[in-house]
Amino acid sequence: MAERTGASQEIGTALLARGYRLFHWWHKVRDGTLSKELFIEAVELLRWGMHQELMSAAAIEIGWREKSPLAKTVRTCRKLLKVEAALWTFVYREGVEPTNNSAERALRPAVIWRNLSFGSPSQAGSEFVSRMLTVNHSLKLQGRSVLDFLTQSCLAARLGEQPPSLIPVVQEPAVSNPRPLIFL
């Protein structure tokens, strides 16, 4: 939006300035120079201002099939308002990042493979590659050996046994005196 002309540029520049301020504060929270409480307090005001700007932009009258830069900006602001609550999840929920960097990093090996190999000529080949890349990434995140998993999978298939699971095994804490659970 900020790279468009006219009113779109004004709207985009104003939203971008708020975004820069938000990320400046987020980085301070991450490095420990700003408390989470003060961050949330500051974000509340910024969030209100962002909402007002989106509402103002979304209220601009445009034609149903209009394709101008302003029409694109207005439609984008309307779409953002529909998912606005989700945009702020990272502020209130621990462990949620404000960017999709981790998803981008997870996809990077698949994109590189596709670019180097020109993809797969068949649907079955594409499904195989996507599954293998998923297995590889999931196991790496869990600190498990990909080779061991694939070896166990092939062995289980040959013996007609249940294959190993990609779902990590969570060790339950030992209970010295277990009691039955009673649900009322």
Q: Is 1 a member of any domain?
A: no
| C-alpha dist (Å) from residue 108 to 103, 111, 112, 129, 171 | 9, 5, 6, 14, 32
Please check whether residue 137 lies inside any domain of the structure: yes
Range(s) of the domain holding residue 121: 101-159
- Whether 176 is covered by a domain: the verdict is no
Last residue within a domain, chosen from 92, 112, 136: 92
Whether residue 142 sits in one domain with residue 83: no
Residues 6+ apart with CB under 8 A from 15: 1, 2, 50, 53, 54
Is residue 178 one of the residues assigned to a domain? Answer: no
Query: What residues in the chain have per-residue pLDDT under 50?
Result: 175, 178-184
| 36 and 88 part of one domain | yes
Identify the pLDDT of residue 136: 86
Residue 155: inside a domain? yes
Task: Check whether residue 83 and residue 42 sit in a common domain.
Answer: yes
Final residue of a structural domain among 33, 64, 92: 92
Please name which of 118, 121, 120, 139 lies closest in space to residue 129, comparing C-alpha atoms.
Answer: 120
**pLDDT number for residue 184:** 39
**84 in the same domain as 41:** yes
pLDDT at 93: 84
The number of distinct structural domains making up the chain is 2
Query: What are 139-170's pLDDT values in tens digits?
Result: 888 889 999 999 999 999 999 999 988 887 66
pLDDT given for residue 183 in this prediction: 40
Do 81 and 31 sit in the same domain of this protein?
yes
Of 64, 92, 120, the last residue of a domain is 92
Q: pLDDT, tens digit, for every residue of 106-120?
A: 778 777 877 788 877
Dist. CA 110–CA 135, nearest whole Å:
12
Residue 163's region, left for phi above 0, alpha for psi from -120 to 50, else beta, is: beta
In whole numbers, what is the pLDDT of the chain averaged over residues? 85
**Distance, CA of 139 to CA of 149 (rounded, Å):** 8
pLDDT given for residue 102 in this prediction: 73
pLDDT of residue 173: 52
Query: Does residue 164 lie in a domain region?
Result: no
- pTM equals 0.58
